[in-house]
Amino acid sequence: MNTVIKNTEEKMKKSVQHLETEFSEIRAGRANPAVLDKVKVDYYGVPTAVNQLAAVSVTEARTLTIQPWDKSILRQIEKAIQTSDIGINPQNDGTIIRMIFPPLTEDRRKLIVKEVAGMGEEAKVAVRGIRREAMEKIKALKKKNEITEDDQKKAEKKIQDITDSNIKNIESLTEKKQKQIMEI
């Protein structure tokens, strides 16, 4: 019974962490090195993350600079960024690459806020699915007479409490991200 509760808690925590990762990758008008996390550069035949090949820094609120440690891969980094779905054209001056993030229009902000709300809903659905699985496992344990009815009720309450806590956390993260997008 305790392993079911512990596994449920871990799975829900992973769902929340996944949501946080998705939120960090949203391009919201500000320069954020996390937008490059999914960009891979072919470095000697191995797909390698940009942040492992170069120093990535935010020089101004809307400017990201990428300074590769090996200048010979400057072109490959530039091409990888252009072919990615970031939507920003990198500027290569021969030594560093600059990415200038354009300010968001009001319509674009509203669209991103809707996307954020959708991501939040997906995370809530995932957490509720994990809860359902856990409740079924607890009922199966009761059916096999491995736990008492009291233990079943306690476990179900504990699982519901964990679910409620994670749902609140997701709502808070979603609200915070939406405010951040509208303030930029």
The DSSP secondary structure of 90-136, one letter per residue, reads: -EE-SS-EEEEPPPPPHHHHHHHHHHHHHHHHHHHHHHHHHHHHHHH
pLDDT above 80 for 86:
no
Mapped onto helix, strand or coil, the DSSP state of residue 47 is: strand
**Boundary residue ending a domain (100, 132, 147):** 100
Residues 109 and 95 reside in one and the same domain? no
Residues 138 and 179 reside in one and the same domain? yes
Task: Copy the structure tokens of residue 26.
Answer: 């949203």
Q: How confident is the model at residue 175 (pLDDT cuts 50, 70, 90)?
A: very high
Alpha-carbon distance 3 to 10, whole Å? 10
One-letter amino acid for residue 115 of the chain: E
Determine the pLDDT at residue 156.
94
Give the model confidence (pLDDT) of 43-70 as tens digits. 888 888 888 889 998 888 789 899 999 8
Determine the pLDDT at residue 27.
65
Would the pTM of this model clear 0.85, i.e. be above it? no
DSSP 37: T
**For residue 15, what are the domain limits?**
2-25+105-183
Number of folded domains in the chain? 2
